[in-house]
Structure 1
Amino acid sequence: MTGLRLRVAGADMAAVPEARHALREMLVHWREGDSAAVAELLMSELVTNALVHTETGAVVTATVADSRLRVEVRDFVSAPVAPPEPPRPVPDDATHGRGLALVRSLADDWGIRARPLGKVVWFELKCEAA
């Protein structure tokens, strides 16, 4: 099993490309192509959401096991968990409201899990070893 664990500070948007780079490095032994690019895109969407919608930062974990990549982004906000159905994107040129829609459409599986403090938003992709 291969893994990654990062702590990102609240409102630190520089953490998004840093997290993408760390995931890319972790996946260096996996086939390049759509899966790695999709994984980076989806992780950056979840990290961005956590940083934009919380002030507490987040913990990002990624694991590869049994030909599956699982990425989790955990925040520590004690608010109710958002419903698992993501909002529909705004049909104008706005840049908000598309993150979870991308996750829903591109991930093989995804979800939101309540924790005693905060929540975990996760996705999984099938991967193939190089």
Structure 2
Amino acid sequence: MARTDLSAVAEVRCALREFLRHRWQEDSAEVAELLLSELVTNALVHTDHGALVTVKVTPATLRVEVRDFVTGLTMSCVPNADDATHGRGLVLVHALADAWEVTAHALGKVVWFELDGEKP
């Protein structure tokens, strides 16, 4: 099975870092980069159809959405015990995000997370 080029993960992470540089707290921005990396990697590895990333910033909330365009896929927050290198992304999202959810659409889904905080 061909996989989407995972170099896009680093590109998206860098773009988020630049976008948040003067808009958000540095510690929370680093968490956002990590969680975005996990969600984009999931979308690229499990759908082979790419993803669309949306970031919304207010003084109180940072919201990151990753949308894929494949229907019928479920998201599990339980990693496979036999695989030491995969399956931990949603565990990190669950542990580090202030809120997160998977929202189904007619074509695909959106996995989003939010981080709370005021800009210093």
TM-score of the aligned structures, taking structure 1 as reference length:
0.82
Equivalent residue in structure 2 for 1:104, among 89, 94, 97 = 94
Number of the residue aligned with 1:122: 112
Structure 2, unpaired ranges of 5+: none
Query: What is the percentage of aligned positions where both structures have the same residue?
Result: 61
Number of the residue aligned with 2:18: 25
- 4+ runs of 1 displaced by more than 2 Å? none
2:59–2:118 CA contact under 8 A, matched in 1: no
Number of the residue aligned with 1:7: none
Number of the residue aligned with 2:60: 67
SS of the equivalent of 1:69 reads: strand
- The 1:15/1:25 distance shift into structure 2, 3 A limit, reads same
1:128: how far off? 2.3
**Separation of aligned partners in 1, 2:92 and 2:21:** 23
Give the aligned length. Answer: 117
Equivalent residue in structure 2 for 1:87, among 57, 78, 93 = 78
RMSD of equivalent CA atoms? 1.7
- The 1:37/1:89 distance shift into structure 2, 3 A limit, reads farther
Q: Deviations over 1:25-47 (max 9, x none)?
A: 111112212x1111000000000
Structure 1, unpaired ranges of 5+: 1-9
SS of the equivalent of 1:60 reads: strand
Q: Residue type matched to 2:35 in 1?
A: L
Q: Residue type matched to 2:77 in 1?
A: P
TM-score of the aligned structures, taking structure 2 as reference length:
0.89
- The 1:105/1:89 distance shift into structure 2, 3 A limit, reads farther
**Separation of aligned partners in 2, 1:113 and 1:99:** 17
1:89–1:101 CA contact under 8 A, matched in 2: no
Q: Residue type matched to 1:78 in 2?
A: T
Q: Residue type matched to 1:60 in 2?
A: V
